[in-house]
Structures are given as structure tokens and as C-alpha cells.
Structure 1
Amino acid sequence: MRTALLLAAPALLLLLCGMPALFRTGQADPLGWAMAALILIPASAALSLWRGGAHALWAGAGALTGVLTFVWIVAGRAPDAGAALALAAIMLVAVASGSLLPRRPAWGIAIGLLAAAAIWWSGREEVRPVAGPKPRLAVISGLPLFWREGQGGMDARADAPIVSVLRTRFDVNPLDSALSQGMARADTLLLAQPRGLAGAELAAIDTWVRKGGHAVVLADPLLRWPSVLPLGDRRRAPAVSLLTTLLAHWDARLLPPDSLEEERRFLAQGQLLTIAAASGFEIRGPSCRTEEEGLIATCALGRGRATLIADADVIDDRLWLADPAKPLQPRQWTADTPGLLTGWLGGEALARPRGWLRSEAELRAAIRWAVLAGIFWAGLGSLLLDRRGRGGIASPRGKSSEEKG
């Protein structure tokens, strides 16, 4: 029983120490337990001293099994293979470091530093700009995507986090009007909750799309984006979508919001969107079809196409980013919004797929099964391994029979 408890303890401690990272972003990512893996160094040192190196290795394997079991169940999908292998390598190095510490401290410390370096490297995942020319992306929006609200002059110029991400895949060009020259040169258009557009501008957008353009339209029936500007200030983004005429021309109608609350919405392919006061589209013609219970509509228009999203709040960094200062680090994302928007716009993929905490029910089930897996593994180890701890210190019960003789 004592051996089983010693073998199970590292797995349970590791699982608990990785929980803060899970709750901070909602990402069920094996590498979220990379920093917590350092606890295997003292745990392996103790096990190696008391029982032997085989026990330390067995406990490390059990800890890895527990984490991967937890991640699989809580996200409802298999962990990313690359992330799982990286965590396994980090944990193996940590176990080796702890196992060597009692006998060869210098080697143990050196390998421990290697584990720390591997953890630091695993946290360097970042979205980097693509090489070569980028597609030209025109952006027409009333949202504060290129300036800070409440400031003026040069101090007001600043990219919102979502724009920082888009610049890695596109040549982003903000436009004040759809009649400008930049519109004619654009490969893709992002139309995000714009202010009232003149009839000529709406006609220009429709013509541009039908000639082969690709537009992504974020139309919000009730914008929840916080603003420091007073009500009535014309610099504020429109509280409701002003694209009714254009959408109707494309055979789509934006419905009123179903709820005023934020909602974590999992799409059919498993990606996560956090939406606020979103609704859906009603299709009134053959040009468009809806997806994701009406949240998204795709329209074939002449030689071009349009992707309609019934929420503009989705690109508010408060709904997809844990640290506003680090938009290019996928480990800081709390939703798949950057990757989804980039994909809708036709850009290259940003990062590997993420697993997400789906619900409290999955969390409880994942904890239960991970603990059971750890207990089973520890019990199996106590039966298969030498309980007297070969290679460890002498049994406290006294001398062996040979010494007594």
C-alpha cells in the first residue's frame, strides 16, 4: 500500500499543479502541464532514494498517462500528438534529473537545467509573419481596431490585438470608404460593424464581390463592445448593424439576438468561439446557406463570395485573449477566434489545433478518470516492482538475512 501511494502521489500532484493554466485560458493543452512537470524532479529524487530508479520512472509514466487521460476527456478529443510528445520528453528529462540527484548531484542538476530549458522553449510558440508577399486585406469598420478610444493625434493610433494577428498573414489596409482606390486593389474585405454607408458605397461593395472578391462581414444585432466614449458620440461603433440593405440584397436577414449574455459556442469542427448577444441569419433566397445554427452564412455572389457572421463582438480581445499584450502567443488565447477569422479570410493557418475545456461535466469526468488511471497504474506498479526498493536505502525493518548471518 505504501509503495502504491508513493507511485500515485506524483501523478496527482502534477495534475493539480497544471489546473491553474487550464482555468486561466480554458485550453486543454498537454503543454499546459510543462511547468508543473518540474515537480517530478524532487518526486523522482525521493522515489529513487527510497525505492529505486525504476519506481521513479514508473511514477513518471503514470503522471504522463494521467495528464493525457485528463486532457483527452476534458476536451472531448485526442491531445495534439506533437504537444503530447513534447510533454513526454520534458517529463522524461525531469525524471532522469531527479533520479540522478541522490547519487550524482552535478549530473542531476545539469539535466534539471535541460528540463527547464525545454519548458522555456515549449512556451515560445508564437505566430510569425509569413514570408513573401501577403494578400491585400481591406478593412472597413466602426470598431476601434486601429486607434485607441478617447485619445487624439498620433497617440490614438494603435492596432487592436486581432489586427496584430491579421498582419502576420495579410497586408492590412484600413479604409474610410468603399469608394477609395484601396478597395479596388484589395484581395479580401473585412466589413466589421461599419458606420452607415452611402448607397454608392454599398453598391461598390456588392459589385466588388460579384466580380470575384471575397468579403467577411461581421454584423452585430446588439454590439456589447465596451467603449469609453459617451452615448451619442459619433466616434462610437454602431450599437446595431447598419448593413440591412446590403444583406437583404444578398438574400439574408440578420435576426434579433437570442440572448444578451456571453456564450462559449463550439462549432461543428470543434473550434471554440466566444460570442456576446449574437443571433443568426434568416436566408430568403438561393444565394446563401446557413451554418452553425444560423450563426454563419455563406453566400455565392456572381464570381465572388461572402461569409457572414452574426456577431462583431467575437473579435473583441476580451473574448478571445487572456493577456492583451501577447496576441501572437496562441498559449494566451481563450478561443479559436484568430484562427477562424484568418481562415474565413483565406489566410494561412496560424497555429496547431487547440483542445478546450468543454463543460463542468467533462471536467468532473476527466478528474475522476485521471485519478482512477493514476491509482490503477500505481497499484500495478506496486505489484510488479521490487517493494524493497532495489538501489535505494536499506529497509527500515532492519538488516537483511545475509547480514544477520
Structure 2
Amino acid sequence: MTLPPPGALLRGALAAALVLALGWFVGGQAMLGRIDPALLLPLWPLPLAALAWTARRASRTERRAAFGVAIALTLIGQALLAVWLAGAFPWLQLVLSAVGGSVMAVGADCMVQAARPRGIFRVLLIAAAILGWFAAAHGLLEIAYRAPAPRAVPVTMMTSLPLRWSGGDLAAMLAEGARDDPALDRIARGGPLRLVDSLADHPLARGDALLLAHPPALAPRDLVAIDAFVRGGGRAVILADALSGWPPRHPLGDPRNPPVTSLLTPLLDHWGITLAAAPNAETRPIAVDVGGARLRLFSAGRFTQVPPACVRIAGGHLLHCRIGQGEAWLVGDADMLFAPLWQPQPRWAAHLRHADTMEWLDARLRGADARGWLRPLWIGAAAD
């Protein structure tokens, strides 16, 4: 086996180091807490164009060797990081990144070696190609990470959180228009959604799903309706926040604000469940992994006493319970719906999400656990 020339090895190694650094610091891996090799796809052009330019006077064989070394070392580095930081070997993402890097290497070499155009026109052509590749790669990743639409199961929701008409006071709504919170918009995109203030007055139909997101104090007849719905075969997700960190819309002490702590204790007691207080010293969100999905919680409580029909998950921050003929997922936090904890940055790039919160909710409420071709590789993810 013949080793590549020293010049090709050095150029290739430097290009690989640049790709890995760009992926970590610019491509979103550090910011998002993900080690996806696919996030390198939009970043190939700049390092490979620089490699093509520095090697423009080398032989064709040496240039090919330099590109091969750059791509191989990048993929090896990403594979090692993925195994080390996420405990997974993302072969599909590595293949996608390898194909993208190979195509970009051929294109960069051809543009640099071409006789025309020359001077500033060649620079403009290369810059246009880099920008075009960047946009096209993000478009491809948007498709690859997108999960199929869930079944349009009707969801009934009760909440005290300021999700509806979240523009602020009346003057702000008149000036800017009333708008719903991003979490409410995202849940409604999955199918019919209705917000009610009483389940006794607005009973659920068979096949509906129930979402209790830190509701206000409920009348006994509503608690009875919830219990009967779940025991009769219903599906429910219950966010019982032990210490709400949701930014209040009204002055402190105003009863229109969400309650500070969960008021679902009578229902939880009836099911034999105890929600412990959240730690007061928590100053930043925590990440928990549930069935391969990443949730970000803030000041979350833990379920300490649970019946045999419930399974504690993520150290007790979540429960999965079989109650009668139905099932309920309980989370000791409602701040997980707060948009900055899950929305992608920038917002147009859904594949650059901070958490799988909304995808997880869709799966629990509407029974669809489908995933896209690619899935995020969360750093520090561990089996439940």
C-alpha cells in the first residue's frame, strides 16, 4: 500500500481539522448539543475550496490524495466523536456526509483548475457555488430530519399557561395582532386542537387525546372526568409543574398568572402518585432522554411515590402509567413547552432544533412515533 505524499497528508489533515472545527463551533454541534455528522454537509465547501486552491499546482494524483485524506479523516473523527459523546455509530449520516464531501471535492477541484473564468470572475463563481451549496444542503437536511405527519387525532387541552393570544396586553394585541404561542401553533399543526376550561362541560370523544399542561385548580367533576377518560381507554399527557418558571404576563400575585406549583395533587393522590418539590437552586435547563428523544426541562419535579402500574423514567422526572384500560404520560415540568427550550435557531431551520419536545408530544398524543430518515444524535444521550 502506497502512502499519500507528505504534502497531500498535511493539506488533507488541515482541511479535516477545519471541517471538524466548523462543525463544532459554527455548524451547531456545540450550540445544539448534537454530534450529527450530517451537520457537516453545508460546511464542506469552504475547507475543500481552500484545499483545492492551496493544491492547485500539485499533480492530479496528489490533489486526489489530499481530498481523500481530508474526507477520510473528517469521517473518522466524526465517527469517533459520535461513539464517544452519543454512544451511537451514525452510518447513514456518515455516508451522506461522505457523498457530499466527495461531490464538493470534485466540484472545487474542477472550478480551481478550470482555465476560465479568470481573476475576480472565478472568485465570484466559487463564492456563488459555496452559497448555493450551503442553501441546498440545509434544504436537504430539512427534508431528511422531518418526520412524517402524525395522524390527525383530535387533542383536547386544558392549561393555565399563557399560550393563547400571547401578544401581551390588549394594546399590544391591537397594535401587532393577537397571536398564539409557538407551542400552541406547533401542537395545532398536528391535528385538531381545542382548548377548554372544563372537561365535564366539554367531554372527550372516544379516540381523542388529552393534554393537561399545568392546568388551574379543577373542580371535582373535572377530576372525575379525567380519571374516567383515562380508565376507559383514553390517552393523556399530563404536565404537572412542581415549580413553574413560565414568565408571568401579569404582575406577581395576579391570579391570572399560572399557579406557581401544580394543582393536580387530588388526581395524583387518587392514582397513588406523589410529585416532589423542584430544586430551588436550579438556574439552567436540564436535558433528559426518553426513548431516544431529548427533552429540556426547567425546575422539574420528580415523582417519588408511584404505583406498580407506573414506570419511572429519567430519574423520576417522567412517568408512564397504565391506568385502567388507558395510559398516561406524566412530566414533572410544564416549562418544557416554553419556546426557547425547544425552538430551532434560526426558526426557519426545523432540523436545527434544541430538543425533540414537540415530536415527543406528537408521538404520545397522536400515537405516531415515526421518525425522519435522520435523527439527532444528542450528546450525552443514555438509555432509559
TM-score, normalised via structure 2 length: 0.82
Q: Which amino acid aligns with 2:353?
A: W
Contact 2:12 2:51 in 1 (8 A): no
Q: Aligned pair count?
A: 355
Contact 1:31 1:122 in 2 (8 A): no
CA separation in 1, counterparts of 2:203 and 2:56? 67
Cα shift at 1:283: 2.9
Question: Could you report, residue by residue, the CA deviation over 1:209-235 in whole angstroms, capped at 9, with x for unpaired residues?
Answer: 122211110001111112232112222
Question: Could you report, residue by residue, the CA deviation over 1:81-131 in whole angstroms, capped at 9, with x for unpaired residues?
Answer: 443332222211110012213432569969947745642432433747738
The residue matched to 2:106 in structure 1 has which SS?
helix
Question: Could you report, residue by residue, the CA deviation over 1:50-90 in whole angstroms, capped at 9, with x for unpaired residues?
Answer: 243322332333333333433443322222x4433322222
**Which residue matches 1:46?**
54
TM-aligned CA distance change 1:97 to 1:253, over 3 Å: same
Question: Could you report, residue by residue, the CA deviation over 1:108-163 in whole angstroms, capped at 9, with x for unpaired residues?
Answer: 969947745642432433747738x6101011011122221622367674332233
Cα shift at 1:11: 0.5
**Which residue matches 1:245?**
266
CA separation in 1, counterparts of 2:107 and 2:115? 9
The alignment status of 1:358 with 2:366, answered yes or no, reads no
Cα shift at 1:200: 1.1
Question: Could you report, residue by residue, the CA deviation over 1:13-69 in whole angstroms, capped at 9, with x for unpaired residues?
Answer: 111112222223222222222222112123124325324332233233333333343
- Which shifted more, 81-90 or 236-245? 81-90
CA separation in 2, counterparts of 1:117 and 1:63? 21
Contact 1:211 1:302 in 2 (8 A): yes
Counterparts of 1:6-85 in structure 2 under 5 Å? 6-19=11-24, 20=26, 21-39=28-46, 40-52=48-60, 53-58=63-68, 59-79=70-90, 81-85=91-95
**Which residue matches 2:3?**
none
Contact 2:237 2:365 in 1 (8 A): yes
TM-aligned CA distance change 1:92 to 1:182, over 3 Å: farther
**Which residue matches 1:217?**
238
- Which shifted more, 345-354 or 203-212? 345-354
Contact 2:241 2:332 in 1 (8 A): yes
- Which shifted more, 12-21 or 164-173? 164-173
The residue matched to 2:88 in structure 1 has which SS?
coil
Over the residues paired in the alignment, what is the CA RMSD in angstroms? 3.0
The alignment status of 1:151 with 2:169, answered yes or no, reads yes
CA separation in 1, counterparts of 2:272 and 2:346? 37
TM-aligned CA distance change 1:51 to 1:11, over 3 Å: farther
CA separation in 1, counterparts of 2:146 and 2:89? 23
TM-aligned CA distance change 1:302 to 1:215, over 3 Å: same
Counterparts of 1:304-319 in structure 2 under 5 Å? 304-319=326-341
TM-aligned CA distance change 1:106 to 1:31, over 3 Å: farther
- State the structure with bigger RCO (CA 8 A, min sep 6), 1 or 2: 1
1:254 to 275, 283, 293: 275
TM-aligned CA distance change 1:10 to 1:308, over 3 Å: same
Contact 1:64 1:91 in 2 (8 A): no
Counterparts of 1:186-335 in structure 2 under 5 Å? 187-258=208-279, 260-261=281-282, 262-267=284-289, 269-283=291-305, 285-323=307-345, 325-326=347-348, 329-335=349-355
Contact 2:16 2:74 in 1 (8 A): yes
Contact 1:149 1:227 in 2 (8 A): no
Cα shift at 1:204: 1.2
The residue matched to 1:167 in structure 2 has which SS?
helix
CA separation in 2, counterparts of 1:106 and 1:163? 54
The residue matched to 2:190 in structure 1 has which SS?
coil
Contact 2:159 2:214 in 1 (8 A): yes
1:5 to 7, 10, 13: 10
Contact 2:167 2:180 in 1 (8 A): no
Over the matched positions of the two proteins, sequence identity in percent amounts to 28
CA separation in 1, counterparts of 2:155 and 2:52? 53
Contact 1:128 1:168 in 2 (8 A): no
CA separation in 2, counterparts of 1:268 and 1:150? 34
Q: Give unmatched runs, 5+ long, in structure 1.
A: 360-405
TM-aligned CA distance change 1:304 to 1:85, over 3 Å: same
- Which shifted more, 178-187 or 163-172? 178-187
CA separation in 1, counterparts of 2:82 and 2:313? 28
Cα shift at 1:10: 0.5
1:92 to 93, 102, 106: 102
TM-aligned CA distance change 1:287 to 1:97, over 3 Å: closer
Contact 1:136 1:171 in 2 (8 A): yes
User: Which has the larger Rg?
Assistant: 1
TM-aligned CA distance change 1:72 to 1:199, over 3 Å: same
- Which shifted more, 240-249 or 294-303? 294-303
Cα shift at 1:259: 5.0
- Which shifted more, 89-98 or 39-48? 39-48
Contact 1:31 1:87 in 2 (8 A): yes
